[in-house]
Structure 1
Amino acid sequence: MFLVTGATGFVGSAVVALLHDRGHAVRAVVRDPARADVLPDGVERVAADLADGEALVRAMDGCESVFHLAAAVGAPGPEAHELNVGGTARVVDAVRRAGVRRLVHTSTSAAICVPDPDGPGCVIDEDAAGGTELTDPYSTTKAEAEAVVLDAVGAGGIDAVVATVVNVYGPSPRGPLSYNQLLAAAARGAVGAIVDTRVGWVLAEDVAEGQLLVHDGGETGRRHVLCGEVASFPEVLDTYCVAAGSPHRVRALPEGSELPEGAPPFADRSVVYGRIGGYRVRDDRARALGFAPRGIAEGLALTARWMPAT
C-alpha cells in the first residue's frame, strides 16, 4: 500500500493516477472531501491533516511507502512555514512511528538555487549542500522542509529519498492549474511581458513517472532532479501560443525587471528567478534511474491539445 499526501493537488493527482494505473494499492490523504472526485475509483481515501500527527500515523498504518507531495504554494510566510516545514516534520515523525519502509519527499528547484560556480546565475545541483538564493516564503520553507527530511535520514531514523521538481505544467487529473494558468493567459493575450530568464520545465505526467523511479531505485538521502528541459519564460510561452494556434506573443523583459500589477498567476516567478539570473540543471542521478522526460516542444504541443478539453 502506497500513501500519497497532496493526493488531490495538481501533481499529487497525477502521481495517484500513475500508481493506480500500474496496479499499486493507493491510499490518498484527503483534507477536503469535495476535492476527492479527482481520484480514480479503487483508490482508498483517508481523512487527515498535516497539522495532526496522530491522524498521519493512523493513515500510514499498513503502508509500505509514503509519497509526500502536500505543500503550500503562494501562501504567506507563517502559513507556508506551518504546512511546508511543520507538516513535513510531522510526516517524517509519522513515517518513523508507523514503520513505513520508504518516504519519497517532493521538493522543488526553488529550494536548492545556489550560485553557479561555472558561470552567471544559479545551478540546480543534485549534490548541492542545501539552501537557496531565493527569499520568497515558498522557496525558503521548502528548503527548510528538505533539510528536515535529510536530517532525519542522517540520524538513521528513516529511509527517504528526495524528488526535486522544476516548473510543472501539462495534463493532470486536477485540471489546468499551476503553470498551465500562465500558458493559457499567454494564449489569450493576457501576458503583455515576462522576464527573460531560463529555468527548468517538466510535464506533470513525467513527474509522476519520475516519482516512481525515485521510489524504486533512488539513493537514500539523495536528491533526484526531475527536469524535462531548461528554457526561458518567453520561449515557453511563445512556443505554447504557436502550438495552441494563438496569434499572441509576449514581450521579453531583461533579468532584474519587475512586472506591472495584475500580472497573471505564476508570471511573478519569472521575476523571482530573474533576480538570480535564472539557472541550469544537473540531473545525472535521476537520468541514471531511467528518467526520460519529454522536452518543451513535445510537452507544450501535448498540453495545447489537452487544455481546450479541460
Structure 2
Amino acid sequence: MNSTVLLTGATGFVGKAVLADLAMRGHAVRAAIRGAIPADFGAAAFTIEAIDGETDWQAVLEGVEVVIHSAARVHVMNDTEVDPLAAFRKVNVEGTLNLARQAAAAGARRFVFISSIKVNGEGTVPGRPYRADDEPAPADPYGVSKMEAEQGLRALARDTGLEVVIIRPVLVYGPGVKANFLAMMRWLGKGVPLPFGAIHNRRSLVALDNLVDLVRICTTHPAAANQTFLVSDGEDLSTTSLMRRMAKALGKPARLLPVPAALLALGATLLGRRALSQRLCGSLQVDIEKTRSLLGWTPPVSVDRALAKAARHYQEQMNK
C-alpha cells in the first residue's frame, strides 16, 4: 500500500528526482517548497517561508506517514556568513529537529534524513574507506551541523518511537548536476587540455538514480529503521579515470596531461584553492557493505550508464 509522503527540498537537485520517483510509483506526495511554487509543479505543494526551529508544519503533516527531509542549508566554498556554524545550525539542526518533533506528534511513522558523508570527515587513506558506524569526524560547520542533526534525531527516535533513517551520500552526480562536476563536463566538452592525467586517488561517487533508489527503499524497509547508511555506486574511481570515462560519455577525447598530483596540490594551495585540490587529488571512499547486506540493496545503475545519462542531459541543454 502506498504511503502519504512529505518531501522537503522538492525543487532541489536530489529532491526533484525523489519527487518524480515517488509520483511514478503512485505515492501521494506533499512537497514543501521555499519560495514560489513552479507553475508546472506536478504535486501538492506547500510554501514554507523558512526552515528553522519556529516553522509550523502542522497543516502539512496531517495524514503523513513518511517524511523525506532533503532540504538543507548546503555547503558552500566561500561562505559569507559571519558565523557559518550558527547559520548551518539554524536550518540543519534546529529546523530538522523541529520538523521531526512535529512529525512524531502528528503520527508519522518514519523520518528519512538526507545527511552527508561530511559527517564522517573530509578524506580517507586509499583502501581504508569510511563505514556507516565509524566515529564521526566532521571538519567544517556544514558537517558539524549534519552530525548534530543526526544525534538529535536518534534521541528523538528513542523518546517518541519515530523510526529515523539516516542516509549519508557522497558526491551526487546526474542530469542537472552543478558545481565542480558541471565544470568538468564543460572542460571536457570543449576539448581543453587538463592537468589531471596522473592522479591515482580513489573516490566514491553516487549516481542520482542510485541515491533515489536507496531513498525509496528506506521509506519502507523494516530493517532500515533507526539505521545509518552510506551510499555510493559501488565502484571507486580516480579523478583521471573519471575524466576519461566522462569524456567517452560525451563523445570527446580526454586530453589529460600527466602532471604529478603533488605539483597540482602545491599550485592549488598557492592559488588559495586547497579545498578544490583535495576534491581533485585526495581520496574519499565509502564502504556500502552494511547498506547491501541489511537492505539487500545493490546500486541498480552502473557508473558508465549514469555518466552517459548526465552527458546526454548536458549536451541537450547546451544545444538549446
TM bucket by the smaller chain?
Answer: 0.7 to 0.9
Q: 1:114 to 1:152 in 2, by over 3 A?
A: farther
Are residues 1:237 and 2:243 paired?
Answer: yes
Instruction: State the match for 1:302 in structure 2.
Output: 309
Measure the CA separation in 2 of the matches of 1:114 and 1:150.
23
The structural deviation recorded for 1:239 is 1.3
1:248-270 deviation per Cα after TM superposition (whole angstroms, max 9, x unaligned)? 4445653792536597xxx9455
Identity of aligned residues (%): 24
The structural deviation recorded for 1:157 is 4.3
Are residues 1:207 and 2:202 paired?
Answer: no
Instruction: State the match for 1:111 in structure 2.
Output: 119
Measure the CA separation in 1 of the matches of 2:122 and 2:134.
8
Normalised to the residue count of structure 1, the TM-score between the two structures is 0.82
Instruction: Judge conservation of contact 2:191–2:254 (CA < 8 Å) in 1.
Output: yes
What secondary structure is seen at the aligned counterpart in 1 of 2:298?
coil
Instruction: State the match for 1:90 in structure 2.
Output: 98
The structural deviation recorded for 1:278 is 2.8
Instruction: State the match for 2:134 in structure 1.
Output: 128
What secondary structure is seen at the aligned counterpart in 1 of 2:237?
strand
Instruction: Judge conservation of contact 1:197–1:270 (CA < 8 Å) in 2.
Output: no
Q: 1:32 to 1:54 in 2, by over 3 A?
A: closer
Instruction: Judge conservation of contact 1:113–1:123 (CA < 8 Å) in 2.
Output: no
What secondary structure is seen at the aligned counterpart in 2 of 1:281?
coil
1:130-170 deviation per Cα after TM superposition (whole angstroms, max 9, x unaligned)? x12x4123222222222222222233442111122121111
Q: How many residues align?
A: 296
Instruction: Judge conservation of contact 1:213–1:291 (CA < 8 Å) in 2.
Output: no
Q: 1:295 to 1:90 in 2, by over 3 A?
A: same
What secondary structure is seen at the aligned counterpart in 2 of 1:23?
coil
Matches within 5 A, 1:1-310: 1-33=4-36, 36-37=38-39, 39=41, 41=42, 43-48=43-48, 49-51=50-52, 53-75=54-76, 76=79, 77-78=84-85, 79-113=87-121, 122-129=128-135, 131-132=136-137, 134-171=138-175, 175-177=176-178, 180-187=181-188, 188=190, 192-193=194-195, 197-217=201-221, 218-228=223-233, 229-250=235-256, 254=261, 257=265, 259=268, 261=271, 268=275, 271=278, 277-286=283-292, 288-310=295-317
Q: 1:250 to 1:182 in 2, by over 3 A?
A: farther
The structural deviation recorded for 1:225 is 2.1
**Unmatched 5+ residue regions in structure 2?**
none
Counterpart of 1:220 in structure 2: which amino acid?
A: A
The structural deviation recorded for 1:72 is 2.0
1:80-116 deviation per Cα after TM superposition (whole angstroms, max 9, x unaligned)? 2322222212222222222211101111222124997
Normalised to the residue count of structure 2, the TM-score between the two structures is 0.80
Instruction: Judge conservation of contact 2:121–2:139 (CA < 8 Å) in 1.
Output: no
Counterpart of 1:184 in structure 2: which amino acid?
A: M
Deviates more, 1:286-295 or 1:138-147: 286-295
Instruction: Judge conservation of contact 1:5–1:68 (CA < 8 Å) in 2.
Output: yes
Q: 1:178 to 1:270 in 2, by over 3 A?
A: same
Instruction: Judge conservation of contact 1:65–1:101 (CA < 8 Å) in 2.
Output: yes
Counterpart of 1:230 in structure 2: which amino acid?
A: D
Counterpart of 1:45 in structure 2: which amino acid?
A: A
The structural deviation recorded for 1:203 is 1.4
Counterpart of 2:227 in structure 1: which amino acid?
A: R
The structural deviation recorded for 1:197 is 3.1
Instruction: Judge conservation of contact 1:206–1:293 (CA < 8 Å) in 2.
Output: yes
The structural deviation recorded for 1:4 is 0.4
What secondary structure is seen at the aligned counterpart in 2 of 1:46?
strand
Q: 1:140 to 1:123 in 2, by over 3 A?
A: farther
Instruction: Judge conservation of contact 1:106–1:162 (CA < 8 Å) in 2.
Output: yes
Q: 1:108 to 1:191 in 2, by over 3 A?
A: farther
Measure the CA separation in 2 of the matches of 1:89 and 1:238.
42
What secondary structure is seen at the aligned counterpart in 1 of 2:243?
helix
- Superposition CA RMSD, Å: 3.0
